[in-house]
Structure 1
Amino acid sequence: MVFDTVGGDTQERSWQVVRPGGRLVSIDATKEGGRFFVVEPDHTGPEELSRLVADGEPAPPVDRVLPLAGTAQAYAALEHGHHRGKIVPHVS
């Protein structure tokens, strides 16, 4: 999957790296044939989350942190139910 936030030439080049059956998701709504939806900004959720973290609210239990390259391993653990807590991808 490719997530395009630029559009234009970058979006066109992105098709070269999408595997058969893959998806290209773009926030550029100028291309015909795509699906269009609108997302309204909502500041209350992130503000409330920031407040909870600042107040030291307990975080959900974390089973493991995996690098983004370990996504397949994370999905396998979710499918087989061998985890206690969240499986968190680490993006650096």
Structure 2
Amino acid sequence: MSIDPIADVALRASTTVAEETGVLHCDACNEPIEGEPAGSGLYVWTRGDEVRYEEPPLCMCCATAIGVTALAAWSVEEEEG
């Protein structure tokens, strides 16, 4: 079973560009990443019984911003009960 055809084409296109150029791009801001990514995001989606996971690369700025935002949101939830 395949994911949505449009999503499948988009995923293959972004993977192909990274393979051709040898440069990873941040999934959040689309800036090129030099060296290893600072972190990765996590996309999870389902279609019927199939579960798909994708861990796109993130640059240092975006990985930090997303991590701090998630931590702040979690802290607010803990305080509110």
TM-score normalised by structure 1 residue count = 0.28
Q: Which has the higher helix share?
A: 2
Kindly name which structure, 1 or 2, has the bigger radius of gyration based on alpha carbons.
Answer: 1
